[in-house]
Amino acid sequence: MAKKKDSIKATKTVTTGKPGRKTTSKPPGKKATRKAVTRSPELPSTPPPPTPGQVAEAAYHFYLERLEKGLSGDSQGDWLAAEAALRTR
């Protein structure tokens, strides 16, 4: 069995240099200090970035659109346009 600690607080009497004056001091107690929690204002959550599969599918549609209209371009431009379009959604 564990022994219980006595939680008796001792007081200490200190005599100052002047007769008739006694000062009593107690050991410092534990003070619970809580810091105020400051929360930043809620920011709108940003959607997750598009997956490579989503970008690839959108880039393919950009490619098909380019072919139909007879426009010049390349796959890299389709990919970048698809990424930009998906991010602004």
Each residue's pLDDT tens digit, 57-81: 999 999 999 999 999 999 999 999 9
Q: State pTM to two decimals.
A: 0.51
For 79-87, the CB contacts below 8 A with 24+ separation are: 79/55, 82/55, 82/56, 82/58, 83/50, 83/55, 83/58, 85/58, 86/50, 86/54, 86/55, 86/58, 87/49, 87/50
Structural domain that includes position 56: 52-87
Question: Is 38 part of any domain?
Answer: no
Question: Is 72 part of any domain?
Answer: yes
Question: Is 73 part of any domain?
Answer: yes
Question: Is 76 part of any domain?
Answer: yes
Question: Is 65 part of any domain?
Answer: yes
Question: Is 82 part of any domain?
Answer: yes
For the chain, the domain total comes to 1
pLDDT in tens, 32-62: 677 777 777 787 888 899 999 999 999 999 9
